[in-house]
């Protein structure tokens, strides 16, 4: 039996210079479900990530290894006092099941707590069914559904929430 390859990954903030590589990763994940990134629409935050996240009191990071970006995640304040939202949790297909998503989610929870948030609310595309059980394992509760039309085709999202 071969020993599992130990993968050394590094977490770091996304800069504007990383925009193209981040878009490429997220676009590849969206194409798995028949969608894509729309830089002129819902993906505008990816064109200027520093202003879109750190500039608004949030944070946007990615994990990387010697092959490139393996995953992304972001935390942003909402208009609701004490509440953060999570955005842009994507893991490269070949890295799923290797702890990338777990490390990114734990980072996001820790970051939200460090920023003084008391609660997290976010929306997840219903087409990412494999992610919903993952969220539950972190204590998030699935709530209402909303319909969206900012992608290649109309879709729906589930609301997830948990106290910190």
The model's pTM: 0.92
70, part of any domain: yes
The answer to the question of residue 45 being in a domain is yes
The domain in which residue 20 lies consists of: 10-120
> Per the domain annotation, does 142 fall within a domain?
no
DSSP string spanning 55-111?
Answer: GGT-EEEEEEETTEEEEEEEEEE-SSTTEEEEEEEEE-GGGTTTTHHHHHHHHHHHH
110 assigned to some structural domain: yes
pLDDT confidence of residue 6: 54
The CATH number assigned to the domain holding 110 equals: 3.40.630.30
Q: Chain-wide mean pLDDT for the chain?
A: 94
H/E stretch holding 159 reads strand 155-163
**Count: domains in the chain:** 1
In a domain, 158, yes or no: no
Q: How far apart are CA 118 and CA 22, in angstroms?
A: 29
Residue 101 pLDDT level (bands cut at 50, 70, 90): very high
For 33-72, how does the pLDDT look when each residue is reduced to its tens digit (9 = 90+)? 999 999 888 899 999 999 999 999 999 999 999 999 999 9
pLDDT at 151: 80
């Amino acid at each position: 039996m071969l020993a599992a390859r130990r993968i050394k990954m590094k977490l770091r903030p996304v800069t504007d210079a990383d925009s193209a590589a981040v878009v490429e990763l997220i676009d590849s994940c969206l194409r798995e479900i028949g969608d894509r990134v729309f830089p002129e629409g819902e993906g505008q935050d990816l064109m200027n990530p520093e202003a879109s996240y750190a500039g608004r009191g949030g944070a946007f990071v990615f994990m990387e290894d010697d092959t490139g970006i393996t995953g992304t995640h972001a935390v942003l304040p909402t208009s609701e006092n004490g509440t953060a939202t999570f955005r842009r949790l994507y893991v490269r297909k070949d890295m799923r099941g290797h702890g990338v998503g777990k490390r990114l989610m734990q980072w996001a929870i820790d970051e939200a707590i460090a920023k003084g948030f008391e609660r997290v609310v976010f929306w997840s595309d219903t087409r990412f069914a494999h992610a919903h059980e993952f969220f539950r394992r972190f204590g998030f509760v699935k709530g209402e559904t909303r319909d969206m039309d900012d992608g290649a085709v109309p879709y729906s999202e589930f609301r997830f929430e948990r106290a910190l």
